[in-house]
Amino acid sequence: MKLKLTCKEAGRLISEGLDRKLSLPQRTALRLHLAICDACTRIHLQFQFLRRAASRYPGPERDGGES
Amino acid sequence: MLQLRNQAQAEDAVQETLMAAIRGAKDFAGKSSVRTWLVGILKHKIIDLIRRASRERPLDLPDAETSLEDFDALYGEDGHYASMPAEWGDPEAALSQRRFFETLEGCLEGLPKNTARVFMMREVMGIETDEICKELAITATNCWVLLYRARMSLRACLEERWFAIGA
């Protein structure tokens, strides 16, 4: 695993990191990439948000429960 | 419905849920709302039905769903984003809005069927990836690719249908 990732590679690893434990070199490479890349940092936060949103699906009560 | 894609199966799941709820009524300790409790039972029933269905009929996984070529357009020659993913502001606020979940549901319905199914199993029902692979008899790599495709597609869809319009 090379240390310098493209955003395309980083996106795969961000996603896979939510589904399995990445190897140490993968985690290191991803951390380095996220430290310098705003785009992938956003992707990372958005994937985590998707997880929170999905776990609350179907969301608030359909009738009258809106807050 | 999103999970089972079959009206009769969905009705069975609901019926089995209600039966299980009636049998287990004494276990309902009032710690959660009745709705949360019923949705919890329903999730288990849906997992059971998916297991049964995938044993009877193996997943038909077209190559297009496990290829990543169509995502290449997102990236420039150098492998970086051709256009910057948008800032979502305060996405947590969306979680209290019913309309947000309707938008999410619309986005899920737009996904290819296996992609949607794997995402629902993983993120809505919280099943571990290795169990999903086993239940659906697909490789771990295909599982990760499907989840990656689902997440990338959903984030783009939510960006377009929710966050970009400041809903």
pLDDT tens per residue across all 167 residues of chain B? 455 556 777 777 777 777 777 777 766 666 667 777 777 777 777 777 777 777 777 677 888 888 888 888 899 888 889 889 999 988 999 999 999 999 999 999 999 988 998 999 899 888 899 989 888 888 999 999 999 999 999 999 999 999 988 65
Assembly ipTM: 0.90
Q: Is A23 touching B (CB cutoff 8 A)? A: no
With contact defined as beta carbons under 8 Å apart, do B72 and B149 qualify?
A: no
Q: Is B75 helix (H, G, I), strand (E, B) or coil?
A: strand
CATH placement of domain B59-167? 1.10.10.10
Residue boundaries of the structural domains of chain A: 7-56
Q: If you search the block for the tokens 């493209």, which residue do you land on?
A: A6
> Residue B129 and residue A47: Cβ atoms within 8 Å?
no
- For residue B133, what is the nearest residue in chain A, using CA coordinates? A19
Alpha helices, H only, chain A: 7-17, 24-36, 38-56
Give chain A positions within 8 Å (CB) of B144.
Answer: 12, 15-16, 19-20
Instruction: Write out the residue limits of the CATH 1.10.10.10 domain(s) in chain B.
Output: 59-167
> Residue B101 and residue A18: Cβ atoms within 8 Å?
no
Tell me the whole-structure pTM to 2 decimals. Answer: 0.81
> Residue B151 and residue A15: Cβ atoms within 8 Å?
yes
**Beta carbons within 10 angstroms of residue A61's beta carbon:** 12
- Burial call A11-36: b when 16+ CB within 10 Å, e when fewer: bbbbbbebbeebeeebeebbeebbee
Q: Is A64 touching B (CB cutoff 8 A)? A: no
Q: If you search the block for the tokens 């992938």, which residue do you land on?
A: A40
Q: Is B135 helix (H, G, I), strand (E, B) or coil?
A: helix
Question: In whole angstroms, what is the distance from residue A47 CA to residue B119 CA?
Answer: 12
> Residue B79 and residue A6: Cβ atoms within 8 Å?
yes
- pLDDT tens digits for range A4-61: 899 999 999 999 999 999 999 999 999 999 999 999 999 999 999 999 999 888 788 6
Give chain B positions within 8 Å (CB) of A13.
Answer: none
- Identify which of A15, A38, A42 has the shortest CB distance to residue B148: A15
Give chain A positions within 8 Å (CB) of B154.
Answer: 50
